[in-house]
Structure 1
Amino acid sequence: MEFNKTEALLEKYFEGETSIAEENELKNYFSSQNVAPHLEQYKPLFGYFVEAKKENLEKNVPLIPKKQNKTWLSIAASIVVLMGVGTYIYFNTDKEKENAALGTYEDPKEALEATQKALAMLSNHVNTGVEGIQYIQVYELTKSKVFVQ
């Protein structure tokens, strides 16, 4: 095989555009003794394919019965589900009792004081947000003065 054709085939090979016949030509060329010195670096690559074809797997792989794995897996899944349900019930029973006690007042004056306290806290938070908006308005006014449209 001439060197230019070999180099062109190598380029096609690395681009993934060769046919099986062209790949066989390359394998035959690199398995022969008369390989060009500047192409010696590719000889182990194509030599590997020839050696890999000769290898046979002789080790026996033992098969594990699948029934035992499914049994242990189902037992483990059942335990996880039971623990999850138990944890959910344990931690949520206290919250339900607390939620039942919220918002119930026997004395109307006490209920009025609690409502006023909650509204005052809400008003403080709304006023904090309004102050932030005032800073934005000052920014917009300054920006409109600087960047006259």
Structure 2
Amino acid sequence: MVLNNIEELLEKYNNAETSLKEEAQLKAYFASDGVATHLEHYKPMFQYFSLSQQEQYTKDVPLNTKKTKLYQWISVAAVAVLMLGIFIPNWQGEGRTFASLSQQEQEAYTKTMEAFKLVSIGMNEGKQQLNSLAMVSDNLNQGIEEASRLSEFSKTTNKIFKNK
């Protein structure tokens, strides 16, 4: 009767349907010397489970707390930079107009804007070239797809003609 009970518990254990109390019964059975010969192959598994429950990790885990202080200072610096970015432009009072600038400042502004326009033109030309390359790439991919379809068609027709 005990052997039938153990076999039923093993079946439930293999289906993951046992309770903790039933698993304790199985561990106790396989820890004893009276294990049936056809169930001997389960004995090492339950012995391993019993031993692994007793294992403990004994090494110390070092905690590096100095790094968090660095992150705290980085966040403080980021907030300070944001605050300066918000308050410095408003600190000067009213915004300056182009007419209120000196002759040298107006020339520097004009030359800077011309330089920005040249850079913008170069960037736009590069963008157009990239768009052209993308279009060539798309057409090339379509051609490859068509060639693969043609290859499949050729294989199929060769099979048909060889079979006749």
With the shorter chain as reference, the TM-score category is: 0.3 to 0.5
* Bigger relative CO (Cα 8 Å, ≥ 6 apart): 1
TM-score, normalization: structure 1?
Answer: 0.46
TM-score, normalization: structure 2?
Answer: 0.42
